[in-house]
Structure 1
């Protein structure tokens, strides 16, 4: 069995959720907490997914105060216990790389529904958008602060769901931000245009979700990366020592997913090795053939 080089699964999405970055602490053992972050690409990663992959940060149920009609308000994103006309949203102080708390923000007149285009006020970190109650503006374009309305998860941290859809509840920052994102297949890359299919690191890669892709003119195979969603679709931000073509003076670069039943790798000496050999755990049946192109270790 191959020993994978140090994995850096960065679960970051330069979304409303900012970014989370999950850096492995040991060989082949990634941190799976997407609440921690080392920067903002716009996240994952990361986010995290974490970008995206995925850092150190709070994963506790932090509550922050906001001012609503002159009174300090604290809210629970699961309970959505804000006054009428307000919704409980994740936010961060400007300059922070990931959400740090929740506050009540106003629901606008004629708000956007799931799938509608949307806009955040000021930036992803404010928690103020024009989506309806129970929704958040996600996949933010940082040039114009526009995105798409997605549902917030319902239920509680033990029993949760996504209303009226087959989406996956992603614990973007546990206790603070939980959103419903489209599930996908990393070998098919069957996400909408402008999004890539990347691991949900909160599930230790047992699920894959569609995340906004921010590679722009870069993010090609062997390009340096810091977050998962700055690689082109079909690529993942992985430890640079896993490819001879990668700059060994940087920590991570974009490497290709591959199909274990039809292994195709372009890197010198690279082989298609099970993705789950790197992250640990048994592969779910739906993703048993998912591999990553790395050099043997």
Structure 2
């Protein structure tokens, strides 16, 4: 429902075909469940854990390290080969953990949803699972309750809510039921509205549910998270450029050293092995692991 904050209580009841004293009937609820669906956040299927893990190897620096490990093994430098492989795997594990946690953003939003709701239906106050709420339901809210859906307040008694999860405002917001004569108004200033994911901290109130599920303000945030494209951070872009530069640098070293040695009369095989060894030595094997660990520590702090 659009702009419910500027609609009078009487007009809202007519628009949503509901009644403050009676609420909705069981038949009306079933019809609206079929139309609007359950009051819950939906989550698109994301990449599997295996896909996320394999994605950690899609980096020029990692490719260089894998090539370095293969070459070290070919040269029978087993200690170097094992060390490089261990670093690559450790980097992949750390990166997987961080990205896997990030993919669970919608699950974190779901934790803000209320498990139950006090609703008036067929003239009786009932406690139902919050996911069964539909637009037009009349809900009662008390201090300590989690708001189960977006609603327009119709009765309040010293009622305040904590909306930090949506607005970032740490101070409780005092609410009232009078309509607001503004078509566009910031969410934090909609004093006659309550929102899914917020919490009542004092008083009592009665509200008419106006939006549920993905149509709520919390649902809009979840939808933006789902639709947001994955964009590389400035650090990732610089590391990618560094990896490409290292490829050219190492290949340049191999070619220059190899031809200088051949010109001086050093045996072909000996010069090839020497040039490759120098290229392996020039690769910063610990860079991916150090960067990943540093970012992980920064996130925890």
Which has more radius of gyration?
A: 2
Structure with the largest fraction of strand:
1
TM surpasses 0.5: no
Structure with the largest fraction of helix:
2
User: Which TM-score applies when normalising by structure 1?
Assistant: 0.25
Q: Give the number of the structure with larger relative contact order, counting CA–CA contacts within 8 Å between residues 6 or more apart.
A: 2
User: Which TM-score applies when normalising by structure 2?
Assistant: 0.25
